[in-house]
């Protein structure tokens, strides 16, 4: 059996990645799955830090004595999981950890989520004005179609990397003057609480996968057609009145959404 521990081929990015494990020929576990776990362990253990270039496909084939198909499947799976990222002409690198957002149990905004993780959130306001509520927005907010709403469209970045485009709607009658507030470096939820005395009690979020349009791709610095996580969010006051509706288009390659599940007691 071929040995392990050979260093990665030179060229591009941080060097020094070497695989420390080996394929167990006597195991019933498929080779590609064993390789995937070997690579995952190198990454999660920190032996392969963020930005390091991993051994090339031919190198992994030679060192571990496996086929190119096995290597490509293992690397492909870890790429889909967000642990590895291919760079055309340069190789495959350990990816930056995905941006982590919570969906339930802690109803917070993007700005507050990122600050809590020690990250630096930045906002570029793309559009902000009072506008007539479109039919879908009016229905969600329980308003007659055309009722004035404050619409805010923002490009949100983390550590200078664009992550999500968010379009938010709130009933203008409940937040007069909100359209004039600068949200470049301000939390919307904190503003609602401190300026308007509005405390959101609960929310609901729906997720689906969509493809990036050319416009989204340009703003998010990705390719058109790349996968996005599309979230529709509804926020409610203690009396049940809808206060906010937003649509967010997150980069699928850079976002990890955490969902907490609570088991209800049985009778």
pLDDT band at 252 (very low <50, low <70, confident <90, very high): confident
CA 15 – CA 94 distance, rounded (Å) = 11
The whole-number average pLDDT for the span 152-176 is 93
Q: What is the pLDDT of residues 42-95, one digit of tens each?
A: 888 888 988 899 999 999 999 999 999 999 999 988 887 778 888 888 899 988
**Distances, alpha carbon 262 to alpha carbons 189, 217, 233, 236, in Å:** 25, 36, 20, 20
Q: How confident is the model at residue 13 (pLDDT cuts 50, 70, 90)?
A: very low
Average pLDDT over residues 153-163: 89
* pLDDT score, position 2: 41
* 157 vs 96, higher pLDDT: 157
- Is the predicted pLDDT of residue 15 greater than 70, yes or no? no
Tokens linked to 30: 């498929």
Mapped to the 3 state alphabet, what secondary structure does 135-177 carry? HHHHHHHCCCCCCEEEEEEEEEEECCEEEEEEEEEEEHHHCCC
- How confident is the model at residue 186, as a pLDDT? 87
pLDDT at 28: 86
Per domain, the residue ranges of the chain are: 1-96, 99-258
Name the pLDDT band for 105 (thresholds 50, 70, 90). Answer: very low
Which residues, in sequence order, are CB contacts of 121 under 8 Å at separation 6+?
A: 110, 111, 114, 115, 156, 157, 158
Cβ-based neighbour number of residue 128 at 10 Å: 17
pLDDT of residue 86: 86
Residues 6+ apart with CB under 8 A from 170: 141, 149, 150, 178, 243, 244, 245
Is 191 a residue whose pLDDT tops 70? yes
Query: Mean pLDDT across the chain, nearest whole number?
Result: 83
100 Cβ partners below 8 Å, 6+ apart? 113, 117, 256, 258
Q: Which residue has the higher pLDDT, 161 or 257?
A: 161
| 1-96: in CATH 1.10.10.1100 | no
What integer is the mean pLDDT of 159-165? Answer: 88
In percent, the amount of the chain with pLDDT more than 90 equals: 43
Least confident residue range of 80-89, 133-142, 147-156, 186-195: 80-89
Asked if the domains 1-96 and 99-258 are classified in one and the same CATH topology, the answer is no
Higher pLDDT: 197 or 253? It is 197
pLDDT band at 253 (very low <50, low <70, confident <90, very high): confident
As a whole number of angstroms, the distance between CA 229 and CA 252 comes to 6
What's the pLDDT band for 41 if we cut at 50, 70, 90?
Answer: confident
Backbone φ and ψ for 187, nearest 5 degrees, come out as -80, 130
* CATH of 99-258 given 3.40.30.10, 3.40.920.10, 3.10.400.10, 3.40.1410.10: 3.40.1410.10
């Amino acid at each position: 059996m071929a040995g392990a521990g050979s260093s990665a081929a030179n060229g591009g990015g941080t060097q020094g990645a070497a695989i420390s494990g080996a394929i167990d020929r006597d195991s019933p576990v498929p080779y590609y799955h064993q390789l995937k776990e070997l690579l995952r362990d190198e990454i999660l253990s920190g032996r392969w830090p963020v930005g390091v270039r991993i051994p090339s496909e031919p190198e992994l084939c030679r060192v571990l004595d496996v086929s190119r198909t096995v290597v490509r499947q293992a690397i492909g799976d870890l790429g889909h999981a967000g642990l590895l990222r291919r760079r055309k002409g340069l190789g495959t690198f350990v990816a930056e950890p995905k941006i982590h957002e919570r969906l339930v149990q802690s109803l917070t905004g993007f700005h507050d989520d990122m600050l809590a993780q020690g990250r630096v959130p930045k906002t570029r306001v793309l559009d902000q004005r009072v506008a007539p509520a479109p039919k879908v927005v009016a229905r969600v907010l329980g308003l007659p179609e055309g009722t004035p709403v404050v619409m805010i469209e923002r490009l949100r970045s983390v550590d200078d990397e664009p992550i999500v485009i968010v379009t938010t709607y709130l009933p203008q009658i409940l937040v007069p003057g909100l359209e004039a507030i600068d949200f470049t470096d301000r939390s919307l939820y904190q503003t609602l609480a401190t300026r308007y005395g509005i405390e959101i009690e609960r929310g609901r979020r729906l997720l689906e996968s969509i493809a990036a349009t050319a416009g989204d791709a340009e703003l998010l610095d990705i390719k058109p057609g790349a996968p996005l996580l599309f979230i529709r969010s509804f926020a409610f006051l203690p009396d049940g009145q809808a206060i906010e509706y937003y649509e967010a288009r997150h980069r699928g390659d850079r976002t990890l959404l955490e969902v907490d599940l609570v088991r209800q007691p049985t009778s």
